[in-house]
Protein backbone atom coordinates (compact mmCIF):
# COMPACT_ATOMS: atom_id res chain seq x y z
CA UNK A 1 0.00 0.00 0.00
CA UNK A 2 1.18 3.51 -0.74
CA UNK A 3 -0.49 6.90 -0.55
CA UNK A 4 -0.21 10.19 -2.40
CA UNK A 5 -2.07 13.51 -2.66
CA UNK A 6 -4.22 14.82 -5.53
CA UNK A 7 -5.64 18.36 -5.84
CA UNK A 8 -8.99 19.00 -7.54
CA UNK A 9 -10.75 22.35 -7.61
CA UNK A 10 -8.87 23.69 -4.61
CA UNK A 11 -9.43 20.63 -2.44
CA UNK A 12 -6.98 17.87 -1.62
CA UNK A 13 -7.54 14.15 -1.55
CA UNK A 14 -5.45 11.40 0.01
CA UNK A 15 -5.34 8.58 -2.52
CA UNK A 16 -4.34 5.07 -1.46
CA UNK A 17 -3.05 2.82 -4.21
CA UNK A 18 -4.17 -0.75 -3.45
CA UNK A 19 -2.56 -2.60 -6.33
CA UNK A 20 -4.21 -4.59 -9.11
CA UNK A 21 -7.59 -6.25 -8.85
CA UNK A 22 -6.91 -10.02 -9.01
CA UNK A 23 -9.85 -10.58 -11.38
CA UNK A 24 -10.05 -7.52 -13.66
CA UNK A 25 -6.32 -6.67 -13.44
CA UNK A 26 -7.32 -3.03 -13.12
CA UNK A 27 -5.53 -0.70 -10.72
CA UNK A 28 -7.42 -0.05 -7.48
CA UNK A 29 -7.30 3.33 -5.71
CA UNK A 30 -9.26 4.58 -2.72
CA UNK A 31 -9.90 8.33 -2.43
CA UNK A 32 -10.29 10.18 0.89
CA UNK A 33 -11.27 13.84 1.12
CA UNK A 34 -8.62 15.72 3.12
CA UNK A 35 -9.71 19.39 3.07
CA UNK A 36 -7.87 22.40 1.69
CA UNK A 37 -4.50 22.02 3.46
CA UNK A 38 -1.90 20.12 1.41
CA UNK A 39 0.30 19.36 4.44
CA UNK A 40 -2.65 17.85 6.30
CA UNK A 41 -3.57 15.83 3.21
CA UNK A 42 -0.02 14.46 2.96
CA UNK A 43 -0.07 13.39 6.62
CA UNK A 44 -3.45 11.74 6.07
CA UNK A 45 -2.09 9.86 3.04
CA UNK A 46 0.75 8.43 5.12
CA UNK A 47 -1.52 7.39 8.00
CA UNK A 48 -4.15 5.85 5.73
CA UNK A 49 -1.51 3.86 3.82
CA UNK A 50 -0.08 2.54 7.09
CA UNK A 51 -3.54 1.57 8.33
CA UNK A 52 -4.26 -0.24 5.07
CA UNK A 53 -1.03 -2.22 5.33
CA UNK A 54 -1.82 -3.17 8.92
CA UNK A 55 -5.22 -4.56 7.89
CA UNK A 56 -3.51 -6.89 5.46
CA UNK A 57 -1.75 -8.75 8.29
CA UNK A 58 -3.46 -12.03 9.13
CA UNK A 59 -5.18 -11.58 12.52
CA UNK A 60 -4.02 -15.05 13.57
CA UNK A 61 -0.33 -14.30 13.04
CA UNK A 62 1.10 -14.24 16.55
CA UNK A 63 4.59 -13.35 17.64
CA UNK A 64 5.35 -17.03 18.25
CA UNK A 65 4.10 -18.14 14.83
CA UNK A 66 6.02 -15.42 13.07
CA UNK A 67 9.30 -16.03 14.91
CA UNK A 68 9.25 -19.84 14.94
CA UNK A 69 7.47 -20.66 11.68
CA UNK A 70 8.45 -17.78 9.41
CA UNK A 71 11.47 -15.81 10.56
CA UNK A 72 13.75 -18.48 12.03
CA UNK A 73 13.41 -20.90 9.06
CA UNK A 74 14.36 -18.09 6.68
CA UNK A 75 17.36 -17.09 8.79
CA UNK A 76 18.69 -20.62 8.88
CA UNK A 77 20.13 -20.09 5.40
CA UNK A 78 22.05 -16.87 6.13
CA UNK A 79 23.20 -17.37 9.74
CA UNK A 80 26.01 -19.53 11.05
CA UNK A 81 24.57 -22.69 12.67
CA UNK A 82 25.77 -21.70 16.15
CA UNK A 83 24.32 -18.19 15.79
CA UNK A 84 20.99 -19.54 14.52
CA UNK A 85 20.79 -22.02 17.39
CA UNK A 86 21.41 -19.20 19.88
CA UNK A 87 18.56 -17.23 18.32
CA UNK A 88 16.28 -20.26 18.53
CA UNK A 89 17.08 -20.93 22.18
CA UNK A 90 16.50 -17.32 23.21
CA UNK A 91 13.21 -17.14 21.33
CA UNK A 92 11.89 -20.45 22.69
CA UNK A 93 13.06 -19.93 26.29
CA UNK A 94 12.59 -16.21 26.83
CA UNK A 95 10.34 -14.62 24.19
CA UNK A 96 7.57 -17.08 23.34
CA UNK A 97 6.52 -17.85 26.95
CA UNK A 98 5.94 -14.13 27.63
CA UNK A 99 4.72 -12.44 24.42
CA UNK A 100 4.32 -15.36 22.03
CA UNK A 101 0.50 -15.19 22.06
CA UNK A 102 0.34 -11.51 21.16
CA UNK A 103 -0.80 -10.73 17.59
CA UNK A 104 2.25 -9.52 15.72
CA UNK A 105 0.60 -6.30 14.55
CA UNK A 106 -0.45 -5.39 18.11
CA UNK A 107 3.00 -5.57 19.69
CA UNK A 108 4.14 -2.22 21.06
CA UNK A 109 7.27 -0.90 22.70
CA UNK A 110 5.80 -1.19 26.18
CA UNK A 111 5.28 -4.94 25.65
CA UNK A 112 9.00 -5.31 24.98
CA UNK A 113 9.91 -3.13 27.96
CA UNK A 114 7.77 -5.36 30.20
CA UNK A 115 9.45 -8.44 28.72
CA UNK A 116 12.93 -7.09 29.42
CA UNK A 117 12.01 -6.14 32.98
CA UNK A 118 10.63 -9.63 33.65
CA UNK A 119 13.72 -11.31 32.20
CA UNK A 120 16.01 -9.15 34.33
CA UNK A 121 14.04 -10.12 37.43
CA UNK A 122 13.07 -13.75 36.79
CA UNK A 123 14.53 -14.83 33.46
CA UNK A 124 16.73 -17.75 34.44
CA UNK A 125 15.49 -21.10 33.19
CA UNK A 126 16.21 -22.72 36.57
CA UNK A 127 14.02 -20.15 38.36
CA UNK A 128 16.92 -18.80 40.43
CA UNK A 129 16.77 -15.13 39.53
CA UNK A 130 17.11 -12.99 36.45
CA UNK A 131 19.28 -12.81 33.37
CA UNK A 132 22.15 -10.37 33.24
CA UNK A 133 21.82 -7.18 31.21
CA UNK A 134 24.05 -8.52 28.42
CA UNK A 135 21.76 -11.51 27.83
CA UNK A 136 18.62 -9.36 27.76
CA UNK A 137 20.31 -6.95 25.37
CA UNK A 138 21.07 -9.87 23.05
CA UNK A 139 17.37 -10.80 23.10
CA UNK A 140 16.49 -7.21 22.20
CA UNK A 141 18.87 -7.37 19.24
CA UNK A 142 17.17 -10.56 18.01
CA UNK A 143 13.70 -9.03 18.31
CA UNK A 144 14.80 -5.81 16.63
CA UNK A 145 16.13 -7.76 13.64
CA UNK A 146 13.02 -9.94 13.44
CA UNK A 147 10.62 -6.98 13.59
CA UNK A 148 12.72 -5.10 11.06
CA UNK A 149 12.26 -8.00 8.65
CA UNK A 150 8.54 -8.12 9.48
CA UNK A 151 8.26 -4.54 8.17
CA UNK A 152 8.56 -6.02 4.68
CA UNK A 153 4.79 -6.39 4.36
CA UNK A 154 3.66 -7.73 7.76
CA UNK A 155 3.79 -4.72 10.07
CA UNK A 156 3.97 -0.98 9.54
CA UNK A 157 7.00 -0.10 11.66
CA UNK A 158 9.60 -1.61 13.95
CA UNK A 159 8.23 -1.05 17.46
CA UNK A 160 11.53 -2.28 18.95
CA UNK A 161 12.77 1.25 18.19
CA UNK A 162 10.40 2.45 20.95
CA UNK A 163 11.67 0.00 23.56
CA UNK A 164 14.41 0.74 26.09
CA UNK A 165 16.66 -2.31 26.44
CA UNK A 166 19.05 -2.51 29.41
CA UNK A 167 22.56 -1.20 29.08
CA UNK A 168 25.68 -3.11 30.03
CA UNK A 169 26.29 -1.42 33.35
CA UNK A 170 28.24 -4.21 34.98
CA UNK A 171 32.01 -3.82 34.66
CA UNK A 172 33.69 -6.47 32.58
CA UNK A 173 35.73 -8.99 34.54
CA UNK A 174 39.43 -8.77 33.82
CA UNK A 175 40.74 -11.77 31.93
CA UNK A 176 43.31 -13.64 34.01
CA UNK A 177 45.74 -16.02 32.32
CA UNK A 178 48.31 -18.41 33.72
CA UNK A 179 51.91 -17.30 33.74
CA UNK A 180 54.67 -19.58 32.41
CA UNK A 181 55.28 -21.23 35.79
CA UNK A 182 51.61 -22.03 36.31
CA UNK A 183 51.27 -23.40 32.77
CA UNK A 184 54.29 -25.65 33.21
CA UNK A 185 52.88 -26.94 36.50
CA UNK A 186 49.60 -27.81 34.79
CA UNK A 187 51.30 -29.60 31.91
CA UNK A 188 53.49 -31.62 34.32
CA UNK A 189 50.38 -32.72 36.21
CA UNK A 190 48.44 -33.55 33.05
CA UNK A 191 51.22 -35.43 31.23
CA UNK A 192 49.62 -38.85 31.86
CA UNK A 193 46.14 -37.76 30.80
CA UNK A 194 44.86 -39.12 27.49
CA UNK A 195 44.07 -35.56 26.42
CA UNK A 196 47.58 -34.30 27.10
CA UNK A 197 48.41 -33.83 23.37
CA UNK A 198 45.43 -31.47 23.11
CA UNK A 199 46.54 -29.58 26.23
CA UNK A 200 50.06 -29.29 24.86
CA UNK A 201 48.84 -28.08 21.49
CA UNK A 202 46.54 -25.50 23.07
CA UNK A 203 49.32 -24.22 25.33
CA UNK A 204 51.78 -23.82 22.47
CA UNK A 205 49.50 -22.51 19.71
CA UNK A 206 46.69 -20.61 21.40
CA UNK A 207 44.08 -22.65 19.54
CA UNK A 208 40.49 -22.53 20.77
CA UNK A 209 38.85 -25.63 22.19
CA UNK A 210 36.47 -25.86 19.22
CA UNK A 211 39.43 -25.63 16.81
CA UNK A 212 41.26 -28.44 18.62
CA UNK A 213 38.16 -30.61 18.39
CA UNK A 214 37.83 -29.86 14.68
CA UNK A 215 41.35 -31.03 13.75
CA UNK A 216 41.77 -34.01 11.45
CA UNK A 217 44.87 -35.95 10.51
CA UNK A 218 44.68 -34.45 7.03
CA UNK A 219 45.23 -31.02 8.64
CA UNK A 220 48.60 -32.08 10.09
CA UNK A 221 51.81 -31.90 8.06
CA UNK A 222 54.53 -33.62 10.10
CA UNK A 223 57.13 -33.15 7.36
CA UNK A 224 56.50 -29.44 6.99
CA UNK A 225 55.90 -29.16 10.74
CA UNK A 226 52.64 -27.21 10.55
CA UNK A 227 48.93 -27.74 10.78
CA UNK A 228 45.96 -26.15 9.06
CA UNK A 229 43.14 -24.63 11.09
CA UNK A 230 40.07 -24.40 8.88
CA UNK A 231 37.15 -25.80 10.90
CA UNK A 232 35.68 -25.97 14.38
CA UNK A 233 33.50 -28.50 16.13
CA UNK A 234 30.72 -26.96 18.23
CA UNK A 235 27.86 -28.40 20.25
CA UNK A 236 24.34 -27.25 19.42
CA UNK A 237 21.23 -28.80 20.94
CA UNK A 238 23.32 -31.71 22.23
CA UNK A 239 24.63 -32.48 18.74
CA UNK A 240 28.06 -31.80 17.28
CA UNK A 241 28.24 -29.58 14.21
CA UNK A 242 31.22 -28.67 12.07
CA UNK A 243 31.67 -24.96 11.52
CA UNK A 244 34.03 -23.07 9.25
CA UNK A 245 36.01 -20.10 10.58
CA UNK A 246 34.28 -16.72 10.56
CA UNK A 247 37.20 -14.65 9.30
CA UNK A 248 40.40 -14.96 7.32
CA UNK A 249 42.45 -14.83 10.52
CA UNK A 250 40.57 -17.78 12.01
CA UNK A 251 41.51 -19.91 8.97
CA UNK A 252 45.28 -20.12 9.26
CA UNK A 253 48.45 -22.21 9.34
CA UNK A 254 50.24 -22.84 12.63
CA UNK A 255 53.93 -23.78 12.78
CA UNK A 256 54.74 -26.73 15.00
CA UNK A 257 57.74 -26.90 17.30
CA UNK A 258 60.48 -28.96 15.59
CA UNK A 259 61.45 -30.55 18.92
CA UNK A 260 59.36 -33.33 20.51
CA UNK A 261 57.27 -32.72 23.59
CA UNK A 262 59.38 -33.86 26.57
CA UNK A 263 60.45 -32.77 30.03
CA UNK A 264 63.88 -31.69 31.15
CA UNK A 265 65.66 -33.34 34.04
CA UNK A 266 64.84 -30.25 36.13
CA UNK A 267 61.17 -30.92 35.66
CA UNK A 268 60.47 -28.02 33.29
CA UNK A 269 58.95 -28.11 29.83
CA UNK A 270 61.75 -28.70 27.30
CA UNK A 271 60.21 -27.00 24.28
CA UNK A 272 59.69 -23.61 22.76
CA UNK A 273 56.32 -22.19 21.86
CA UNK A 274 54.99 -22.45 18.34
CA UNK A 275 54.52 -19.39 16.17
CA UNK A 276 51.42 -18.41 14.26
CA UNK A 277 51.80 -17.29 10.67
CA UNK A 278 49.22 -15.62 8.41
Same domain membership, residue 136 and residue 201:
no
Residues 156 and 213 in one domain: no
> Does 36 lie in the same domain as 19?
yes
- Cβ neighbour number for residue 145 with a 10 Å cutoff: 15
Characterize 156-176 residue by residue with b for buried, 16 or more Cβ atoms within 10 angstroms of its Cβ, and e for exposed.
bebbbeebebbeeeeeeeeee
Does 45 fall in a domain?
A: yes
Band (246; pLDDT cuts 50, 70, 90): low
* Together in a domain, 188 and 273: yes
Give the count of beta carbons closer than 10 Å to the beta carbon of residue 51.
13
Question: 31 and 67 share a domain?
Answer: no
Residues 82-107: pLDDT tens digits?
A: 888 899 999 999 999 999 999 998 99
Identify the CATH number of the domain in which residue 119 sits. 1.10.150.130
Residue 67 has pLDDT above 70, yes or no: yes
Final residue of a structural domain among 162, 196, 215: 162
Q: 88 in the Ramachandran plot: left (φ > 0), alpha (ψ -120 to 50) or beta? A: alpha
Confidence (pLDDT) at 55:
58
Tens of pLDDT, residue by residue over 133-188, are 999 999 999 999 999 999 887 888 899 999 999 887 655 666 788 888 999 999 99
Query: What per-residue confidence (pLDDT) applies to 270?
Result: 45
DSSP letters spanning 133-158: HHHHHHHHHHHHHHHHHHTTTT-SS-
2-8 and 239-244 strand pairing: unpaired
Domain that holds residue 145: 63-162
Residue 170 domain flag: no
| Assigned domain for 175 exists | no
Query: Residue 64 to residues 69, 104, 142: CA-CA distances in angstroms?
Result: 8, 9, 13
Give the pLDDT of residue 157: 87
Query: 136 and 109, same structural domain?
Result: yes
Same domain, 265 and 187: yes
Residue 169: inside a domain, yes or no? Answer: no
Percentage with pLDDT > 70 across the chain: 77
Neighbours of 235 (CB within 10 A): 12
Which of 32-41, 172-181, 198-207 is predicted with the least confidence, judged by mean pLDDT? 172-181
Q: Which residue has the higher pLDDT, 244 or 254?
A: 254
Q: What is the helix (H) or strand (E) element at residue 17, kind and residue range?
A: strand 11-20
CA dihedral over 245, 247, 253, 255, signed as positive or negative: negative
Give a yes or no: residue 105 inside a domain. yes
More confident residue, 257 or 21: 257
Q: What average pLDDT score do residues 25-47 get? A: 78
Residue 200 sits in the same domain as residue 245: yes
Quote the number of domains for the chain.
3
Q: Is 119 within 8 Å of 94 (Cβ atoms)?
A: yes
Question: Is residue 171 one of the residues assigned to a domain?
Answer: no
Prediction pTM value: 0.56
Whole-number Å distance between alpha carbons of 234 and 232: 6
CB distance 110 to 139 below 8 Å:
no
Do residue 50 and residue 70 come from a single domain? no
Would you say residue 235 lies in a domain?
Answer: yes
Same domain, 50 and 67: no
- Asked whether residue 27 falls in the same domain as residue 68, the answer is no
Domain identity same for 42 and 77: no
143 in a domain, yes or no?
A: yes
Name the pLDDT band for 57 (thresholds 50, 70, 90): low
Most confident of 29-33, 43-47, 176-180, 257-261: 176-180
Rounded to whole angstroms, the Cα distance separating 31 from 11 reads 12
Is residue 260 pLDDT above 60, yes or no?
no
List the single range of 24-28, 217-221, 273-277 with lowest mean pLDDT. 273-277
Q: According to the model, what pLDDT value does residue 92 have? A: 94
pLDDT band at 268 (very low <50, low <70, confident <90, very high): very low
What is the pLDDT, as a whole number, of residue 254? 82
Using the 8-state DSSP alphabet, how is residue 102 labeled?
S
Amino acid sequence: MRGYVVERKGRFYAVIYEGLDPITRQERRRWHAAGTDRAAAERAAVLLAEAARAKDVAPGLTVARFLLNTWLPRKQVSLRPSTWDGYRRNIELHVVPHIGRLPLRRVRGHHLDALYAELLANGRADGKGGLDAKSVLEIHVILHRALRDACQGLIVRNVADDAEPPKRRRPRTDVRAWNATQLQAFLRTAKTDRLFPAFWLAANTGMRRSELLGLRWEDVDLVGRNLSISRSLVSMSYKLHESRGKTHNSRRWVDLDPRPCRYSSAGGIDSTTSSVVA
